[in-house]
A and B are shown apart, each in its own frame.
Chain A
C-alpha cells in the first residue's frame, strides 16, 4: 500500500525477486517446503520404478508356481558367520501339509543361493524398446529353475510379490496420472465454459456437478465398472476404468476453474484482451487460463491420490482391473480372505506403496499450492 504516495524503489535483492519469472518464484517457495521436496523425490523414485519395472523385477511376475504358494519373504544375508560376504539367500524346500493342504517351507541352510547384479532372468523389452534378459538383481551362477530370490514372499499362486509390485507400480501410477489428465481436461473445459459464459450454461453445469457430487462415488464406480464386458483386454479395461474414474472426478477441477474464471472475468487484462479483438475461446485459453496454471497443477497433484485409491478399491472388489493385469488393487485381492492374511501377512505389502504414494502426492500438492499462492511469503 502506498498510502502516503511513496515511490517504489527496489533494492538489488528485491530487484531479483521482481524480475524472476513466475515459475522461478514458485520454485524458490517450493524449495523451502522440505516435506514437499522430499515427497517429490519419493514420487520421482516411484515413477522411475514404473519405467524400469521389469528391470527391477527378480522373476516373472505373471508366472504361477504351486511350489512357492505363500512362500514367506526370504532374508538376505550379508555375513557368513562373522565374515562379510557377497549377499546370498538360503535355499528352501516346501512340502504340502497333509491336513491343511497348505505349503510348509523349511529353510535349507546347507545351500546358499548367491545374489548378483545384472543377473539373467526372464526376457522382456526394456522401455518397450530393447530386448534383454538382464535384471538389476537376480540369482547368480548356474542356478536351477526353482532357485529364486523373493524379497517380499510369494502370493497364493506362488508369484513373486516384489516383482509383481514393480509391475503394479507402473499400472496404478500411470492410471492415476492418465485419469487426472483426462478429468483435468473435462474439468477445465466445462469449468471454463461455466465460469466464462455464465447464465444458463453455468446453471446447467453447476446442477450437473451437484448431482454428481451427491452420488456416493464407490457404488457409482461399481455400477459403471460392472457394465464393462467380461471379455475385454487388459488395455481396454485400463482405459475404460480411467474414463469411468475421470467422468466422476472432473467435478472438483471444474469448480475450481469456474471460480477462477468468475474472478478473472472482470479483470482489466481480460477486458484488454477482448477489446483488442481476441476471440472468446482465445481469451479464455490464451489469456485467462495461463494466469492460474500453477493452481491447476496443484489441484491436479492433489487429485491423483483419489484416482489411485479409487482404482485400488475397485480392483480390490474385483470390478476394476482384472487379472492378468497387475495393479496394487489386484494384488490386494489376495488379502480378501482373512485366513490368507493371517497365514501370510505379506500379501498386505502392496498397501504400503499405496499409502506412501498417496501421502507423497498430498504433501507435494500442498507444497505446490502454497508455492503457487502469489500472496504467500
Chain B
C-alpha cells in the first residue's frame, strides 16, 4: 500500500494543509534508444512560507520533477503517473479544493493561469534564461503584462519598482539592457524580478546560485529569503550544494535516480542521516577541520539512464549492500522519526 508518508508528521492539528502535494509522480522520456525514467514515484508536500530543498547528483531527476510541476516538460517528456495537487490562490484551505495540475492540458488556459502566475521558476543559468535579442526590460514587462491587468506605461513603472525591490541599481537604465550586458548576479536579480512580477505563491528555484561566485551566491540567497519573508511564498530549492540546503531549507528531500530516498527536516538530514546515499553525500563535503584527510567520494557513477538497477537503485554503489535483498526488492519508504522517512532495508524489518 502506498503510504502518504511525507504528510504524516505535518498533519498535526495546528498545521495548515499543504499548498502543493506531489503524489507518486512519474515522468518518462521515451526516446529512440529506450525509455528514460527521469522521475519514478516522487511524493512530497510543500507548505506556505516553507522552503523545501531537493538535493541530489546531476541527472537524478530534480529539475524534471520541478518542470513536471510547471507542466513545462520538453518533448518527448511526459508525466505517466501521479498527481500534482495544488491549492490555488483565493481558495479557503480545505481538503477538497485542490487542482491536479498533472491532469491539466500543458498549454491550456487553466494551466497558464497557474504557471508563471502562481508558481514561478528561476533557472540556473540566467545568461541563457533571457532571450539574447530582447532587452531584459522587454521580458520583464512581458511578465508583468501577462499576469497583471495594466497598460504599457504602468507596466514600465511596475518593472522599475520590481527591479528596485530586488535591489538592482540604476533600475531605469537596466530596462534597456540586454542580458549579456549584465553581470551574473544582476542577471539573476532581474530573473527573480520577472518571477516576482506575478507575486507567486510558490517559487521553484533550480540551482539558482550554481553559476554565480560565492559572494553573489550569498547575496542572492539573502534576497530570496527576504522576499519569502515579505510575501510568505513557499520555495522549492533544487540544488546539489548541501551548503545552500543548510542555509535555506526547512525540509529536505534527497533524490537518487528519480526517487526520493530520504526526506526529513533539515536538522535530521545533517545530524541524523539514515540512507547510505545521504551519508555518502555528506561525507563528500570538504571539512576545514580535517584538512589532511582525503576527500571521501561515492564509489561508481550514476548508472546510465537506460539501464536502471534492479531492487534498490543505489545498491551497485552502496557500501552497506546486502546481497539477496537490496538487489531483489525495492525498499519502501519507512518512518524513522517524526517527519523523517527513509527507503532502505537497513531500517525496519526489511533487512
Contacts and interface: CB of A to CB of B under 8 A. Distances in A.
Contact of A9 (B33, B295, B296, B300): B300
B284 interface: yes
A8 interface: yes
A376 to B, nearest CB: 12
B317 to A, nearest CB: 9
Given A1-B58, A377-B33, A7 B240 contact: no
Interface string A195-236: 000000000000000000000000000000000000000000
B250 interface: no
B316 to A, nearest CB: 9
Contact of B281 (A4, A9, A10, A377): A4
B57 A6 contact: yes
Interface in B278-314: 281, 284, 295-302, 304
B284 A5 contact: yes
Given A9-B301, A377-B33, A4 B240 contact: yes
A10 B316 CA distance: 12
A6 B58 CA distance: 11
A5 B284 CA distance: 7
A3 interface: yes
A243 to B, nearest CB: 43
Contacts of B284: 4-6
Interface hub of B33, B281, B284 (most chain A Cβ within 10 A)? B284
Contacts of A7: 297-300
Contacts of A10: 301
A3 B57 contact: yes
A7 B297 CA distance: 6
Contacts of B301: 6, 8-10
Contacts of A14: 304
A124 to B, nearest CB: 49
A9 B240 contact: no
Contacts of B297: 4-7
Interface string B239-253: 010000000000000
Nearest to B56: A4
Interface hub of A1, A4, A9 (most chain B Cβ within 10 A)? A4
Contacts of B296: 5
Contacts of A3: 57-58, 240
Interface string A7-19: 1111000100000
Interface in B25-40: 33
Q: How large is the interface on B (under 10, 10 to 19, 20 to 34, 35 or more residues)?
A: 10 to 19
How would you classify the secondary structure of chain A's contact residues: helix, strand, loop or mixed? loop
Interface string A231-253: 00000000000000000000000
A5 B283 CA distance: 10
Nearest to B303: A11
Contact of B295 (A1, A5, A377): A5
A278 B298 CA distance: 41
A6 B240 contact: no
Interface in A315-357: none
B29 to A, nearest CB: 13
A6 B281 CA distance: 10
A6 B301 CA distance: 7
Contacts of B295: 5
A6 B56 CA distance: 12
Contacts of B298: 4, 6-7
Contacts of B58: 1, 3
Nearest to B286: A5
Interface in B69-107: none
A10 B304 CA distance: 11
Interface string B264-283: 00000000000000000100
Nearest to A10: B301
A150 to B, nearest CB: 47
B56 to A, nearest CB: 9
A5 to B, nearest CB: 5
Interface in B109-150: none
Interface hub of B33, B57, B301, B304 (most chain A Cβ within 10 A)? B301
Interface string B302-344: 1010000000000000000000000000000000000000000
Contacts of A5: 284, 295-297
A9 B57 contact: no
Contacts of A9: 299-301
A283 to B, nearest CB: 34
A30 to B, nearest CB: 16
Contacts of B304: 14
Contacts of B299: 7, 9
Contacts of B57: 3-4, 6
A9 B297 CA distance: 11
Nearest to B33: A377
B47 to A, nearest CB: 29
14 contacts: A1-B58, A3-B58, A3-B240, A4-B57, A4-B297, A4-B298, A5-B296, A5-B297, A6-B284, A6-B301, A7-B299, A9-B299, A9-B301, A377-B33
Interface of B: 33, 57-58, 240, 281, 284, 295-302, 304
Given A4-B57, A4-B297, A5-B284, 9 more contacts: A3-B57, A3-B240, A4-B240, A4-B284, A4-B298, A6-B284, A6-B297, A6-B301, A10-B301
The 7 closest A-B pairs by CB, nearest first: A7-B297, A9-B300, A5-B297, A5-B284, A4-B284, A6-B298, A3-B240
